[in-house]
Amino acid sequence: MSKPVVAIVGRPNVGKSTLFNKLTGSRLSIVEDTPGVTRDRIYADCEWCGRGFMLVDTGGIEPRTDDVLLSQMRQQAQLAIEQADVIILVTDLRSGVVANDLDVAVMLQKSGKPLVLCVNKSDSLGDPPAEFYEFYNLGLGDPIQVSAVHGHGTGDLLDAVLEHLPPEENEVEEDDVIRVAIIGKPNVGKSSLVNRISGEQRVIVSNIAGTTRDAVDTEVQNEHGKFVLIDTAGIRRKSRVDDPIEKYSVLRAKLAIERAQVCVIMIDACEGFTEQDSKVAGLAHEAGKASIIVVNKWDAVEKDGKTMDSYRKKLMEDFSFMSYAPILFISAKTGQRVDRLFELIKFVDSQNALRISTGMLNDVLADATARVQPPTDKGKRLKIYYMTQPSTRPPTFVCFVNRADLFHFSYQRYLENRIRDVFGLEGTPMRFIIRERG
Ligand code: GDP
Ligand code: GDP
């Protein structure tokens, strides 16, 4: 279920973004000669020879001075070492091997992660030029000639990546284990929660051995079941360079979410809701994962009998796009309601995997369309003939209709609510696929 991660690392201007775009067949990330351009698209789903993986561009950092450059490159490489299954180190044929390439190569090699060395800007076809052989000095095995601009060599590069991917059966989830990503801004209390849980409950394996990608995973077993907590607290590791932190925290959260079945979106009770919280929550929503909004540090809030209700009301407005998510007030410090959190995790996970029979679904549909007639336009009325749920995680519904353009968002929202009224689906997003049928 969780896709392998392939990370692209390398100095600025070697062509990482160009390569990313070429490999993902898109122009989502912006390539410019001017330094300082922000590239917000940093990950994409890829497929090569039937094998899916997530490609991550760790680039986009524009250093101001050389010493900053090296520290940023190390940080980038560190992130890749932690999170990726395979790392592509991109170098530049035109500039040859430079000191920073060597430094990062040593670091990557020590990590033991599978590596693919890409010598980019090899624009001319045919035998490699003499400069190419210099790249063997990096000690990373056979370099692959690539021209990200023209696309030469990208097939060889992907073949090499595929060779290093973990065998596919490893991706099969153990179905009695629920993987939980704990996401949120720095300092909201993510690691405190994990520490609290591992201090109190039986932790089978902390820091599961094996790939370094799992270094922040904690496996826990309690009366509610087996869980793997994916802690994204690595975000907080301070660095002298502050710019890339935000970017990396989003990336870390994204990767954790991809690997999880349930997301715990943690906010700080004292601070309240911020834009960054909704950004993180939006990632979970888009990924179709079950979510719980957890308000931590509840011990530190001065309250009377009404505080929780009004806090909850306010949060439901702030997180209106995920009104399905239950809200829980906890304290990682005192342990208040941490037990309840596990019950909820188990519950929303089951909701995310819920399958509704076609018969029941169409009963709800008939009832819903009788209560509120579907919209019309210029005398033509939307007809929903039939509805079925082909897949789960998240529950996805296909609606066969006469005209897709009449199926406005508001009516979709209405149907969604009707389905939720009847079947619950608490804590999980749902998706609609609209198909026209004449
Ligand atoms: P990044 O900083 O590593 O992400 O590098 P970019 O992808 O932004 O590329 C830096 C510059 O190198 C841009 O001007 C690209 O057009 C150029 N470039 C990237 N790949 C190639 C290539 O294969 N051949 C040539 N000639 N130029 C390239
Ligand atoms: P992270 O960056 O999200 O992992 O946050 P930490 O777990 O490192 O916590 C940040 C700070 O918040 C620390 O000083 C914690 O002691 C404090 N903290 C965490 N949970 C609670 C809580 O439930 N109540 C109170 N009062 N403080 C907390």
Per-residue model confidence as pLDDT tens digits over 267-326: 999 999 998 889 889 989 998 999 999 999 999 999 998 999 999 999 999 999 999 999
Per-residue pLDDT, 330: 97
User: Sheet of 262-268: strands edge to edge?
Assistant: 202-206, 217-222, 225-231, 177-183, 262-268, 290-296, 327-329
Q: What is the ipTM of this complex?
A: 0.70
Pick from 2-16, 131-145, 191-205, 217-231: least confident: 191-205
* In contact, 344 and 326? CB cutoff 8 Å: yes
Give the mean model confidence (pLDDT) for residues 131-145. Answer: 93
User: Which phi and psi (to 5°) does residue 402 adopt?
Assistant: -75, -40
pLDDT > 60? residue 415? yes
Q: Match 């561009």 to its residue by tokens.
A: 57
Question: Which residues, at least 6 apart from 132, have a Cβ–Cβ distance to it below 8 Å?
Answer: 93, 119, 122, 143, 145
How many Å lie between the centroid of ligand 2 and the Cα of residue 202?
Answer: 22
Question: What DSSP designation does 267 have?
Answer: E
Question: Which residues, at least 6 apart from 269, have a Cβ–Cβ distance to it below 8 Å?
Answer: 295, 296, 297, 298, 300, 301, 311, 329
pLDDT > 60? residue 32? no
Amino acid at position 257, single letter: I
| Tally of CB atoms within 10 A around 394 | 20
| Tally of CB atoms within 10 A around 247 | 18
Query: Is the pTM higher than 0.90?
Result: no
Cα(58)–Cα(10) distance, integer angstroms: 8
Per-residue pLDDT, 205: 38
What does the block give as tokens for 244? 């890339």
pLDDT digit string, tens, across residues 203-244 = 443 333 333 333 467 888 888 999 989 877 543 344 433 445
* In contact, 395 and 354? CB cutoff 8 Å: yes
Cα(328)–Cα(311) distance, integer angstroms: 11
How many Å lie between the centroid of ligand 1 and the Cα of residue 118?
Answer: 13
How many Å lie between the centroid of ligand 2 and the Cα of residue 315?
Answer: 20
How many Å lie between the centroid of ligand 2 and the Cα of residue 399?
Answer: 45
Per-residue pLDDT, 173: 54
Which of 8, 9, 17, 18 to mutate for ligand 1's pocket (most ligand atoms within 8 Å of CB)?
18
CB-based pocket (< 6 A), ligand 2: 186-192, 233, 236, 296-297, 299-300, 331-333
Cα(47)–Cα(52) distance, integer angstroms: 4
Question: Which residues, at least 6 apart from 158, have a Cβ–Cβ distance to it below 8 Å?
Answer: 23, 48, 49
pLDDT > 80? residue 171? no
pLDDT above 70 coverage of the chain, percent:
83
Per-residue pLDDT, 175: 65
Question: Which residues, at least 6 apart from 159, have a Cβ–Cβ distance to it below 8 Å?
Answer: 48, 49
| Tally of CB atoms within 10 A around 21 | 22
pLDDT > 90? residue 148? yes
Q: Confirm or reject: Cβ of 149 under 6 Å from ligand 1.
A: yes
Cα(128)–Cα(118) distance, integer angstroms: 13
List beta partners, residue 117.
89
Q: Confirm or reject: Cβ of 33 under 6 Å from ligand 1.
A: yes
Q: Grade residue 253 by pLDDT with cuts at 50, 70 and 90.
A: confident
Q: Grade residue 59 by pLDDT with cuts at 50, 70 and 90.
A: low
Per-residue pLDDT, 236: 39
The three-state secondary structure class of 52 is strand
Question: Which residues, at least 6 apart from 375, have a Cβ–Cβ distance to it below 8 Å?
Answer: 381, 382, 406, 407, 408, 410, 411
